[in-house]
Amino acid sequence: MSTKKDGHGALVWVESILIALPVRLALGGLIGLAGVSKLQGVQSFAEAIKGFRIVDAEEHGHLIISAAYTIPYVELIAALLVVLGLWTRAAAAALGLLLLGFIGALVRVILDESVSADCSCFGDIELFCEAGVGWCQVGRNAILLLGVGYLLWRKGGLVSIDAWCSGRSAQAGDPEWSVERSEP
């Protein structure tokens, strides 16, 4: 017997497979690639951070070095969690904060003509944009933010560890995951 709830459950599965899963894989994959690329060239990433002149390199060089080692690991951990669909909203929020920080730094460099810096967003890989800082990088990060926004809004979908742990699959009407209770 088909009910309105069964139709809604099917739509949730379709959304999970056709939207949520690809968004998680693309966002997590791209941010994970960025993290790995930065770790492979930590020194060049530190030089890129220094080039943005967010902090005075002479006085606060230790912050640049700390950021050069910390940011890639945060990216990798959050990307892995997003791909797995584990703590999806928290991981997406962390990625969103990183992306907003990156956009802020990029816009600052674009608007301040005295600053000349290369974007080391993906290490030495020029993914979609050239190495120089420009609006292309801001646009790329804004598009990634759309994926973050979707995950914050809709979570990771039914094809995620979050869903399996919370039993959301049963709520969507999947008979394989639902528990039937019979009265004696």
pLDDT tens digits, 118-138: 777 776 677 777 777 889 899
pLDDT at 93 over 90: yes
Q: In this predicted model, what pLDDT tens digit does every residue of 41-84 receive, in sequence order?
A: 899 888 888 888 888 878 888 999 999 999 999 999 999 999 99
What pLDDT band is residue 8 in, cutting at 50, 70 and 90? low
Rounded CA-CA distance 137/175 in Å is 45
Give pLDDT, residue 76: 97
User: Do the beta carbons of residue 38 and residue 71 sit within 8 Å?
Assistant: yes
Question: According to the model, what pLDDT value does residue 49 have?
Answer: 87
pLDDT class for 176, splitting at 50, 70, 90? very low
Q: What is the mean pLDDT of the chain?
A: 84
User: What pLDDT, on the 0 to 100 scale, is given for residue 52?
Assistant: 85
pLDDT value at 99 more than 70: yes
What's residue 101's pLDDT? 94
- Which residues are paired to 132 by β-bridges? 118
Mean pLDDT of the 139-166 span: 91
- Surface-to-core class of residue 80, CB atoms within 10 Å of its CB (0-12 exposed, 13-18 middle, 19+ buried): middle
Termini Cα distance of the chain: 23
Q: Tell me, what's the pLDDT at 181?
A: 47
Mean pLDDT of the region 152-161: 89
At residue 77, the 3 state secondary structure works out as: helix
Please give the pLDDT value at position 10.
83
What's the pTM value of the predicted model, to 2 decimals? 0.80
Q: What pLDDT score was predicted for residue 7?
A: 62
